[in-house]
Amino acid sequence: MTTPSPTPSAPRKYFGTDGIRGRVGEHPITPEFVLGLGMALGHILAKRFSEPSVLIGKDTRVSGYMLEAALESGLASAGVDVVLAGPMPTPAIAYLTRTLRLSAGVVISASHNPFEDNGLKFFDSQGEKLPDAWELEMEAALEGPLSCTSPQLVGKARRLEDAGGRYIEFCKSTFPAGLNLRGLRLVVDAAHGAAYHVASDVFHELGAEVFSLGNRPDGFNINQLVGATAPEAMASLTAEMDADYGIALDGDGDRLIMADRSGRIFNGDELLYVVGKHRTAKRGKAAVGGLVGTLMSNLALEQRIEAMGLDFRRARVGDRYVLEMLKETGWQIGGESSGHLICLDRHSTGDGLVSALQVLGAVVDSGQALAQLLSDLVLYPQVLLNVPIQEGRDWREHAAFKQAQKDVLRELGSNGRLLVRASGTEPLLRIMVECREESLAQVLAERLARTLSG
């Protein structure tokens, strides 16, 4: 079984699937470029708003200071007022931009990447991902001359002192009314990232006993052996402290991976299933409609969702594409196996803390442990290989590779999936084989990789 990817949107020079990202000091992650980017965004906002204002947040990377200053200067030079939130999770900036009635929000972060990288994510006034048209307009503006506005129109800047408290209260408001977390012991891993000063408080204020991990950022240790991309540390501490559950976020707080006291780690597919299953039980199939996954979502998840009487659709890899498909279908719940979960009945974007509260809400409301809620979902093994692509060589026209794909699909039949896609950020081809037997998936994936590199 293979699923074609939806048609990509218009090509961009700088913007990827989630803003702009790269290594600090190398184009485009330089002060000069970010200054111009701020000016470009500012001029676009000035055409759409009479008194434009932008909220800027960041994660804990040391380079955030430099890029924040450059972005603030660019926006102010275009006549835009700036509100500085300091280190705050990406979904917090989306929420605060909307509730403060600001024109846009920008997060300086490279999410789950190491500290050497950084980037910028953008939200519109409704706390949603910046429209494609805006990204294209910004790129066009960067190609032309950008000038400072007149002196009397230069923007001002102020700091939002209570950003953390506002966001904590918002997260708590998404937990089911009438329930609490009293009696639960939780490990909360903030990945030394943007949620380091708010994550534990959310669960503590709802009644849980909390053990904090990854809450001591130094500018360099973000995502370093902790967080959603390295959940083993969280799972180990959860077992060591005999905690009920562990919660791991990534550097900017929009991903979620969980574990239980046995050390079992639950990925995004499993957590998405728990939320969808609970929503269906509470509201009915008609109200839920269906769930959105991605091309990487496990086949077993798709089969279980459909067995529940719900529809399941796959978007391109990337939470922005999950969000786009949710809007197309009118559904509310979607996510990625990497831990990006979106609950549009709770937030306009993916949020690790809000997602964790939805999962814990299902646990508390049902009276069942997380493993029990997942007893009817057994994920198929997935083998993912990254194969370097030779420059100037089109893998789509590689005759032997095309034949090998046909052979693998024939061998898998209806009991597995093959997904071949090019990386959006590196010269790599990602080959994923999924079936009931991990050994077979490994053999088939390696066969494809050898064919391509041979």
Q: What is the pLDDT of residues 93-103, one digit of tens each?
A: 999 999 999 99
Mean pLDDT computed over 140-166: 95
Q: What is the rounded average pLDDT of the residues 374-383?
A: 96
Provide the pLDDT confidence category of residue 452 given band limits of 50, 70 and 90: confident
**For 79-93, 329-343, 423-437, which range has the lowest pLDDT when averaged over its residues?**
423-437
* 9: confidence class by pLDDT, cuts 50, 70, 90: low
Average pLDDT over residues 163-181: 97
* Averaged pLDDT for residues 252-266: 98
Tokens of 440: 């077979």
The whole-number pLDDT of residue 424 equals 67
293 forms beta bridges with 314
Would you state the pLDDT for residue 10? Answer: 58
For CA atoms 289, 295, 298, 303, the dihedral sign is: positive
pLDDT computed for residue 4 by the predictor: 42
> CA 170, CA 92: separation in Å to the nearest integer?
9
Strands 185-189 and 209-213: parallel
Decide if pLDDT at 17 tops 90: no
Q: Average pLDDT of 84-89? A: 98
Is residue 189's pLDDT more than 60? yes
Residue-averaged pLDDT of the chain: 94
Taking a C-beta distance cutoff of 8 angstroms, is the pair 408, 444 a contact? Answer: yes
* Residue 6: pLDDT over 50: no
| pLDDT of 14 higher than 70 | yes
Looking at residue 278, its pLDDT comes to 97
Give CA separation, 143 vs 41, 284, 413, 435, in Å. Answer: 13, 51, 49, 47
- Please determine, for residue 5, whether its predicted confidence score (pLDDT) is greater than 60: no
Side-chain-side CA neighbours of 447 within 13 Å: the count stands at 18
**What local confidence, expressed as pLDDT, does residue 7 receive?**
44
Q: Which of 9, 68, 16 is nearest to 37 (CA)?
A: 68
Active site residues: 111
Specify the pLDDT at position 391.
73
Stretch 413-439: mean pLDDT? 88
Percent of the chain past pLDDT 90, that is, above it, reads 88
Q: CA 189 to CA 164: how far, in whole Å?
A: 17
Mean pLDDT within 66-90: 98
Percent of the chain with pLDDT over 70: 97
